[in-house]
Amino acid sequence: MPRLSLHFSLVLLLLAVALPAAAEFDPDRPTVLITGSNRGIGLAFAQYYAAEGWNVIATARRPERADELKALQRQFPQVAIEQLDVTNLEQIDALAEAYRGQPIDVLINNAAVLGDLPTQKVGGLDRDAFQQVMLVNVFGPLKVSEAFAEHVAMSEQKKIVALTSGLGSLKLMGQMSGFYYYRMSKAALNMGMLGLRKDLKDRGIIVGLVAPGMVDTQLLADSGYRGKSLTPADSAAGVAQNIAALTAEDPGKPINVDGKVLPW
């Protein structure tokens, strides 16, 4: 009998480890998955949706260092913190499998890097730096979207969005120098998400491009920009409203935080 009790306890322990944090989700509430949620706009998205009562899957490359996410989780038990590096195929597949059967109403591909700026101009071009920016900013969102397409398809809202930027616009930034990799990555992201939009349309999935504007984040500070900016909270709230307004009839063009269409 003691041996049976010990075996049963081990089974319970293994189940507890295997089950994702979604075990505390409210099945009657919508669910959002956000990549890159440990700081900046990603954290603000997690805070916004948690306060709105959503189930939140907040991912980060290093969850153990995500102190603000942990504080949010203590306040809102429906927040799940998960490890995810969007360039790590094994982590993407493992997370998708862990949440098999969990409807995800909105998938926000937020994770992005600016990249090393000295390597993004003539005289300093570096192949490895280029590949890293493109992997995180372009391939990552596409692969995460592919992995979670079934989760989104089984939800009520069925939305996949990616955060783009006016820096990816040929019309707005055609004469700008520098920032080669970042600008190219956002232009490529736009094209990739448009392709995804067409391929997933028959499954009822709405794919959109949203831009957060100039937001007071570490990425913006690293870019050298010193002008006016939005707080992450204000940007996240504005973008969330744009996401809520997305429909299958929208043309799929990039929508800025203020609701205006960004020219290509």
Give the pTM.
Answer: 0.88
Structural domain includes residue 261: no
Fill in the DSSP letter of residue 139: I
Structural domain includes residue 107: yes
Q: Which of 14-23, 31-40, 42-51, 163-172 has the lowest mean pLDDT?
A: 14-23
Q: What percent of the chain has pLDDT over 90?
A: 76
Residue 251 has pLDDT above 90, yes or no: no
Structural domain includes residue 264: no
Structural domain includes residue 197: yes
Which pLDDT score, from 0 to 100, does residue 111 have? 97
Structural domain includes residue 16: yes
Band (140; pLDDT cuts 50, 70, 90): very high
Question: For residue 137, what is the domain's CATH number?
Answer: 3.40.50.720
Residue 192 has pLDDT above 90, yes or no: yes
Residue 232 has pLDDT above 80, yes or no: yes
Which pLDDT score, from 0 to 100, does residue 247 have? 95
Phi-psi region of 36 (alpha: psi -120 to 50; beta: other; left: phi over 0): left
Which pLDDT score, from 0 to 100, does residue 100 have? 97
Which pLDDT score, from 0 to 100, does residue 124 have? 96
For residue 8, the enclosing domain spans 2-245
3-state secondary structure of 100: coil
| Strands of 55-60's sheet in order across | 79-83, 55-60, 31-34, 106-109, 159-163, 206-210
